[in-house]
A and B are shown apart, each in its own frame.
Chain A
Amino acid sequence: MKVLNSMKTVFESRSVNEAYARCAAAAFLTCADPALDEVCDIKTAVSEAVTNCIVHGYRDTVGKIYITVKLMEDGRAVIQVKDKGCGIENIAQARQPLFTTAAEEERAGLGFAVMESCMDKVRVYSRLGKGTTVVLEKKLTLK
């Protein structure tokens, strides 16, 4: 599948950058003139994925978060959010609604559930001690 357009951004895992991350992804995809609802869903999903990198992947440290956004020929937006943090021990458990390892921070444990409801596909790759990559996919309604 041909990639029509793509972008990459790298930033530090500081919570203040959550807004930058979701807005950068959304701003890039305006080249495809997507529907407002789709943009909102993408912003929400990216915000969840990046928050996971900050809260879980890097915990009390600051590392780099890597985002790539690709616009495919068939109108799919494919967004990769990657960290080189601690990794996830049990991905199936982490994806369970209400499961959280950060209850003291008032995390609801709904990050993956929200990503899944906003996107068509959510894939998670992780290795303990190496990091985690989340790939978000959504078909955009091209005008």
Chain B
Amino acid sequence: MTVHLQTAPDVATAYLVGELDHHGAGRIRNIIDSTVMGMEQPPKVLYLDFGDVGFMDSSGIGLVMGRYRLMTELGGRLEVTNLTPKLRKVMLMAGLEKLGVLEKEGTKKDESFKQHENGF
């Protein structure tokens, strides 16, 4: 598992790549947290992008809940994006929709961009 981080004023995006399990989660969490805390101003939004996560167990739930706590403390919000149906199922099982961090179903950002490029 790796993570690529992109920051702009007010926004941080963490693109997760690979299989998210207990082994990978600790390191990913540290990278995301130190990037967010290292920003000049705490971001208003942190995006966790799951578009390239092929596998996830309950470690992913812990990762989302922990980042939700961090962003709430910093006065910002968290958004979980690009969930496949399988990952969404695991997150719904944990009741993460109640935190209001899951993007609506069928709003995959990447795909809508692609459609635009192809002129619909």
Do most interface residues of chain A lie in helix, strand or loop, or is the interface mixed? helix
- Does B21 interact with chain A (Cβ within 8 Å)? yes
**Across the interface, do A55 and B22 meet the contact criterion of CB distance under 8 Å?**
yes
Do most interface residues of chain B lie in helix, strand or loop, or is the interface mixed? helix
Total contacting residues, chain B, CB less than 8 A: 21
A sample of 20 more A-B contacts (CB under 8 A), given A51-B58, A54-B22, A107-B22, is: A22-B21, A22-B55, A37-B86, A40-B55, A44-B55, A47-B55, A47-B57, A48-B57, A48-B58, A51-B57, A106-B26, A106-B29, A106-B62, A106-B63, A108-B62, A108-B65, A110-B93, A111-B58, A113-B93, A113-B94
Q: Which residues of A contact B (CB under 8 A)?
A: 15-16, 18-19, 22, 37, 40, 43-44, 47-48, 51, 54-55, 105-108, 110-111, 113-114, 117
19 contacts between A and B (CB under 8 A): A19-B19, A19-B23, A22-B21, A22-B55, A40-B86, A47-B22, A48-B57, A51-B21, A51-B58, A105-B62, A106-B25, A107-B22, A107-B58, A108-B59, A110-B94, A113-B58, A113-B94, A114-B57, A114-B93
